[in-house]
Structure 1
Amino acid sequence: MQQVIIAIHLMVVTALVILVLYQKSEGGALGMGGGSGVFTGRGQANALTRATGILATIFFITSIALTVLPAWERRSEGGDDWTKALDPGSIQIKQLPKTEGKGEQAAPEKAPEPGKDSIF
């Protein structure tokens, strides 16, 4: 299911970028429209604005779906307690070395031996 939503999401993103770049800016910097073409003037602006709004709405819906769908899948695997879906064997705890002294400062590192190249 996620692959289908991702495919739709990528198509919408591509179309949205193309539509935004195709729109005529106020300064005309990125606008590609000329005087002749299928759309001219006000009709082009209305059609592109409406299409951009529709694609933006679809983009937000697919983004939310891609966020919520994995949570639903975890919930369905674990029942009422979603933590049951986690594999406790894959969790690893890393122990940090203890520092000397009262504060949280780490012990200073030793100076490099003479003759060894170091940038510090």
Structure 2
Amino acid sequence: MQTVLIVFHLMIVIALVATVLLQRSEGGALGVGGGGGFMTGRGQANALTRATAILGTLFFVTSLALTLLAHYNRAPKSLLDAPAASRATPAGAVPVQPGSTLMDQLNQIEKQKSGAAPAAPAQPEVPKSQ
């Protein structure tokens, strides 16, 4: 269904571009256009305007239909449905400890790489109130 709608959408896009390019220029865009062309006269201009409006409407309808199809074909995902193992800290990662700074974490990573035992995180000094 989606493939058929995409093909139909592309045909509408090509027809819309061709219809817009066939229309007569209305005013001095750097001195080009405005002369006699393939489609002249008010009758053809009204037909092209109507065709442009119809193709534009079809373009929006097929765009919305493709969006809705993509939305309904997508499987719902929830962070809460993920198993607990995937939310855990990855192997080899340094767990973040409360009160530790980025520098403390980097020092722990370096100590783990060098094979030294990780030191206890430094606790920030709390000023004493008097």
Specify if TM > 0.5.
yes
The higher radius of gyration belongs to 2
Cα offset, 1:26, TM superposition: 0.8
| Equivalence for 1:43 | 43
Q: Which runs of 5+ in 2 are unaligned?
A: 104-130
2:42 and 2:6 map into 1 onto residues whose CA distance is 34
Cα offset, 1:51, TM superposition: 0.3
2:34 and 2:19 map into 1 onto residues whose CA distance is 11
Q: What is the CA RMSD across the aligned residues, in angstroms?
A: 3.5
Q: Is the 8 A contact 2:24 2:40 kept in 1?
A: no
Percent of residue pairs identical: 57
Q: Is the 8 A contact 1:6 1:66 kept in 2?
A: yes
Cα offset, 1:54, TM superposition: 0.4
Cα offset, 1:18, TM superposition: 0.8
Equivalent position SS for 1:14: helix
TM-score (normalizing by structure 2): 0.52
Q: Is the 8 A contact 1:24 1:31 kept in 2?
A: yes
Total equivalences in the alignment: 87
Q: Which runs of 4+ in 1 moved over 4 A?
A: 28-33
Give the aligned residue type for 2:62. Answer: T
Q: Which runs of 5+ in 1 are unaligned?
A: 102-120
| Equivalence for 1:34 | 36
TM-score (normalizing by structure 1): 0.56
